[in-house]
Homo-oligomer: A and B are copies of this chain.
Amino acid sequence: MKKKISASLLIVTFILSAVSHFAGWDPTVQFALSAISVIFVAGFLGKATESVSHYAGQRLGGFLNATFGNAAELIIAFFLVKEGLFDMVKASLTGSIIGNLLLVLGLSIFAGGLKFKVQNFNVSLAGMNGSLMIVAVIALFIPAVFLNTHSITPTDTKLLSLVVAGILIVAYIAWLIFSMITHKKYLADVTVDSAEELPNEHAPEWSKGKSIMYLILATVMVAFVSEWLVGTLEVFTTRFGLSELFVGAFLVAIIGNAAEHSAAIMLAMKNKIGASVEIAVGSSLQIALFVAPVLVFVSYFNGNTMDIVFSTIELVAISVAVFIAKSITQDGSTNWYEGLLLLVVYIILGVSFFLV
C-alpha cells in the first residue's frame, strides 16, 4: 500500500514536472514541480542503489553506493558545468558539503540524542573521517590562497586545479581500498552490525535484475529532472531577489540531498548513529574528493576548464563546517546538544548567505 503510493507519487510528480517544462509553464511553477519531483526520484535512486548493493555484496556494494549515492548532485552539477555556470556549481558543491556536515549530521545527532542519552560509533573511523575532511579543506584552500595572494597566475591556477583534482581522485580511490579492503574490520565495530541488518529489511523487495534495471531508470530520471530544475533557477532567483549563492548553497543542496537526509535521521533514531555519520560525512567527503575533481576534468574535456578556486565565503563556510563536525565526531560519541551545535552553525551560515 505504502509502496504503491510512493510509486504513484514518483510517476505523477515526474510527469507533471516534464509537462510543465515542455509546455513552458510559469518558471516558478516549473521550479516547484521539478523541486518536488527531484525529491522522489532521488529517493528512488537511493533505494535502487541500496538494492543493487545488497546483491553485489558488501565491498562492491559499498563502491556502487559511493559512486551512485551522490549521482543527483553530480548530474545537476554536470549540466551547470556544461552551461558554464561555474559559480553556481561551486555554490551547490559548497551547499552539499555543509548541508551534509551540518544539517543532515546535526538533525541525525539531535534526533538520535533525544531518544538515546549517548550514542557511540567507531572511534577510528571518526579519526580517519576527520583527517580526510582536513585534507579536503586543504586541497580547496591552497589554490585559492595562491591565486588570491597573486602568487600564481589564473592560467597556472587551472593547471594547478587539474593536478589537485587528479591527486584527490587518487586519494579517494585509495580511501575506498583502505576502508573497504585493507582496513575494513578496523573501521567496522558498531557500524558493521547495522550494515548487516539493513539489507535484510529491504532484501526481498526487488529481484537482482529488477534492481539493476531500476538503478539505470532512476539515474536517467534524476538526470532529466535535474536539468529541468537547473533551467528554472536563473529566472526564479531574479524574481525573488535571492542570491545565486543562497539558491545554490541552500535550496539546491537541500533538495538534492533529500533522500540522504531522511535515511540518516531514521538510522540515528534506530540507534545506528555510525551509519548516519557514514552517510552524512561520507557523502560530503565524496563531494569534495570525487565529485568536485571529476567536474574539473569534465569542464577541461568540455574545452572550458573550471578552476577549483572557491570564493572566500564558500571556503569559510566549508572550513567552519569541517572544524565543528570534526570537533563533535572525533570522540566517537554524540548527544543531543552536539546535534544542536551543528544546526546552530548551519542556521548562522544560512542567514549569512541569505543576506548576501
Contact = CB atoms under 8 A, between A and B. Distances in A.
A1 interface: no
Interface residues of A, number: 64
Q: What is the predominant secondary structure among interface residues of chain A facing chain B? A: helix
B146 A337 contact: no
Interface string A204-234: 0000000000000000000000000000000
A163 B167 CA distance: 40
Contacts of A171: 340-341, 344
B186 A138 contact: no
A336 interface: yes
A256 interface: no
A282 interface: no
A137 to B, nearest CB: 9
Interface string A304-326: 00000001110010001001101
A276 to B, nearest CB: 18
Interface in A14-61: none
Contact of A117 (B152, B183, B312): B183
Contacts of A313: 145-146, 149, 151
A163 B344 CA distance: 11
Interface in A297-356: 311-313, 316, 320, 323-324, 326-328, 330-331, 333, 335-338, 340-341, 344-345, 347-349, 351-352, 355-356
A22 B183 CA distance: 56
Q: Output the residue of A141, A311, A326, A344 with the most chain B CB within 10 A.
A: A344
A174 interface: yes
B344 A128 contact: no
A352 B308 CA distance: 13
A128 B327 CA distance: 9
Contact of A324 (B135, B145, B159, B348): B135
A222 B280 CA distance: 49
Interface string A143-179: 1011001011000100110011001101100110010
7 contacts: A124-B331, A143-B352, A145-B312, A149-B313, A167-B344, A167-B347, A171-B340
Q: Which 10 A-B pairs have the closest CB atoms?
A: A178-B337, A156-B355, A131-B327, A138-B320, A152-B355, A149-B312, A145-B316, A134-B327, A151-B356, A163-B351
